[in-house]
Amino acid sequence: MYMESLISFIVTEYNYSAALILIMIGMYGMIAKNNLLKKVIGMSIFQSAIILFYISIGYKGGASIPIIKHGSGMADHAAIDPTLYVNPLPHVLMLTAIVVGVATLGVALAILQKIYRVHGTIEEDEILESLKE
Amino acid sequence: MMSAQAPILILLIPLLCGLAITLVAQKSKNLAFFLILIGMIGSFSAACSTLIQVLQGSAPIHYRLGGWPPPFGIELVIDHLNAMVLFIVSGSALLTAVYSRNTVIVEIPDRVHHYYTLYALLVSGLLGMVATGDAFNLYVLLEISALSSYALLARGRGLAYLSTFKYIIIGTIGASFYLLGVGYLYIKTGTLNMADLSQMLASPDMKESVSIKTGFVLIIIGVWVKMGFFPLHGWLPNCYSRASTTTSCLIAPLMTKVSIYVMIRLMFSVFSVDYVFNTLQFQQAVVWMACIAIVAGSISALAQQDLKRMLCYIVLAEVGYMVGGVWLMNSNGFAGAVYHIMSDVMMTLCLFMAVGAVIYKTGDSSLESMRGIFRKMPVTATAFLIGGFSIIGIPPTCGFFSKWYLITGAVETGQYHFMIALLFSSLVNAVLFFRIIEIGFFNRFDDSGHGIHQKFEFSEAPVMMLAPMLICAASLLVIGLYTSFILRNIVQWTIPAGL
């Protein structure tokens, strides 16, 4: 019974599972990896997973891109059927989130470069080792 | 005419000043300083104007960006709570800007204009987080302030790059959790406007929804990461203590307090008292966590040999005060927490400024650098003393009154462990500051017990550093003396219905 509902959840709403798996991969990379660059990659995967999650919630079966067919000048705006178009709002939000993600990545890489110049390595254990001496 | 636009001007003025500094102030350090000062003064006066408007009328101000009506457009909502926080954030940013005149040139001589640009961006991000009435907008502004704070914190001492890198990773996890939580709320309600969200969430079937619960937990954990609440605090002391003087004066008091404001706003304006305390069952657990935060923060502060690190652990303990006060489920505890946001910004700012002045003069931030401080730098020492008394909670200062209300709340709800944690923290803080006073006043002996006949020359920090420090110290007394006024006119209005 539970197994069936779990399987049907995985099959029908695979977008959530996919986002969850990507989030887990990203978290694993950030927490478990020793190489700081791999941590940054994990961070990027984590953010991308959330972006995909948002994008997928705007989707509707059988709907088209959100451009109104009988565009400007038509007076019948009230007659638009919302089921014909996917929800554009999450997509627009994610444009902002992508910009934020790129900026975070940029700052992280710049600081990583500085760490490499100061410590000569980007392996976390080697840096900690060199600090003890 | 201008006063109607004041809410948006609070964050637009520093933003545009930041832009102007990168464009025109590359050659001249004085011009950069002048522009940042203009920006902060503009922002502060807009915040004052907003505060006066809120105090005069009892209804919150709704400012619609671009004239779009609320559920579709972004709006700024200013009520008593965030008018107070805006006032205090922009005020302390202004004081820090004045203070930075001498320190920035010493610490970051080559990139003064970049430094001030990031400064302005950080302040406008923080003010935006406080003013906005839109959950997604809050995320964007949170990231604006976080990104500029990463860059500011990285220009520090010692291992600043490494600790900032860790902060980037953890801060991104926090912000992403928040974003994910907002996504859950959006799936269930289809809106991002806070007022609209709270209406939708009030319906009974939303209360039972697992998605909404998950969303709430994700959002709260995200905000806790940002404020450095107990189990999620690991990044904070390293990061803030290694930052340059001006950066830690700016970020350490403001970032944590703005996060606490965000937590209050989301708990009571998006969700409701009933939902947070009755539908969800972890109120007790959070108060216990706050107790651990207070005790652990205080003990760790006692173990530090570095003044700035010590202050960072005090900040962590203070975060525990406020989170605990909010989660006590009592109106006195809540009033204490809100009042403490205001007083804590001023007292940590005062202490960080005083320590910054000591570092500026002696180049050293260990406890030993306080030796002979009362002879060398009497004004700085006085400001440090008043800040310390306020942290301990000695009556005329504002620290006493916030602690009083928090303890009253704890007693009224029978959560004595929180009261014990608060009293314990006061005791530890007393030990902490009297130890420093002892070093500063009396200790003229070296380790072997021989008297040192060291003459302490009078060498006080520059006026540009002393003036904001003294204003901070005075404000601690003023806030303390006008406690009943502040409680009656501001804090009373912020207590959510049903608490």
| pLDDT score of B448 | 53
Q: What is the CB-side half-sphere exposure of residue A103 using CA atoms within 13 A?
A: 17
Q: Which two tokens stand for residue B271?
A: 């969700």
User: Which two structure tokens, joined as six digits, stand for A108?
Assistant: 């992280």
Smallest Cβ–Cβ distance between B162 and the set A47, A97, A127 belongs to: A127
User: Using CA atoms, how far apart are residues B35 and B146, in angstroms rounded to an integer?
Assistant: 22
- Is the CB of B159 less than 8 angstroms away from the CB of A97? no
Q: Is the pLDDT of residue B441 over 80?
A: no
DSSP β-ladder status, B75-78 and B61-64: antiparallel
> Which residue from A minimizes the CA distance to B144?
A100
Cα A69-A72-A73 angle, rounded to 5 deg: 120
3-class secondary structure, B64: strand
Indicate if the alpha-carbon torsion angle B271, B276, B280, B286 is positive or negative: positive
Selected residue of B68, B161, B163, B238 to mutate for chain A interface (largest A Cβ count, 10 A):
B161
- Chain A residue numbers with beta carbons less than 8 Å from the beta carbon of B140 are 96, 100
Residues of chain B whose beta carbon is less than 8 angstroms from a beta carbon of chain A are 136, 139-140, 143, 147, 150-151, 154, 159, 161-162, 164-165, 168-169, 172-173, 176, 179-180, 183, 186-187, 192
Q: What pTM did the predictor assign? A: 0.91
Which architecture does CATH list for A14-61+84-132?
Answer: Orthogonal Bundle (1.10)
Q: Provide, as residue numbers in chain B, all residues whose Cβ is less than 8 Å from the Cβ of A52.
A: none
* Residue A119 with chain B: CB contacts under 8 Å: 162
**Nearest chain B alpha carbon to A103:** B147
- The residues, any chain, with a CB within 8 Å of residue B284's CB and separated by 6 or more, are B415
Residue B443: which pLDDT band, with cuts at 50, 70 and 90? low
Q: pLDDT value at position B374?
A: 79
Instruction: Compare CB distances from B162 to A90, A104, A115 and report the shortest one's residue.
Output: A115
Tens of pLDDT, residues B161-179: 888 999 999 999 999 999 9
- What band does B208 get if pLDDT is binned at 50, 70 and 90? confident
pLDDT digits (tens, 9 = 90+) for B2-38: 678 888 888 899 999 989 998 887 888 888 888 899 9
Determine the pLDDT at residue B125. Answer: 93
Measured distance between the N- and C-terminal CA atoms of chain A, rounded to whole angstroms: 60
Average pLDDT over residues B41-51: 91
Among the partner-chain residues A54, A111, A127, the one whose CB lies closest to the CB of B168 is A111
Residue from B72, B157, B169 whose CB has the most chain A CBs within 10 Å, to mutate: B169
Q: What's residue B156's pLDDT? A: 80
pLDDT, tens only, A98-117: 999 999 999 999 999 999 98
Residue B197, C-beta contacts closer than 8 angstroms, at least 6 positions apart: B135, B185, B189, B191, B270
CB–CB of A104 and B143 under 8 A?
yes
Show the DSSP H helices in B243-377 as ranges: 245-265, 273-274, 283-303, 307-327, 331-362, 373-376
Instruction: State the ipTM, two decimals.
Output: 0.90
pLDDT of res. A69: 66
Averaged over B297-317, what is the pLDDT? 90
Contact criterion met (CB below 8 Å) for B211 and B184: yes
pLDDT score of B221: 92
Residues A127 and B162: beta-carbon distance below 8 Å? yes
Q: Which residues in B lie closer than 8 A to residue A90 (C-beta atoms)?
A: 186
* DSSP reduced 3-state for B119: helix
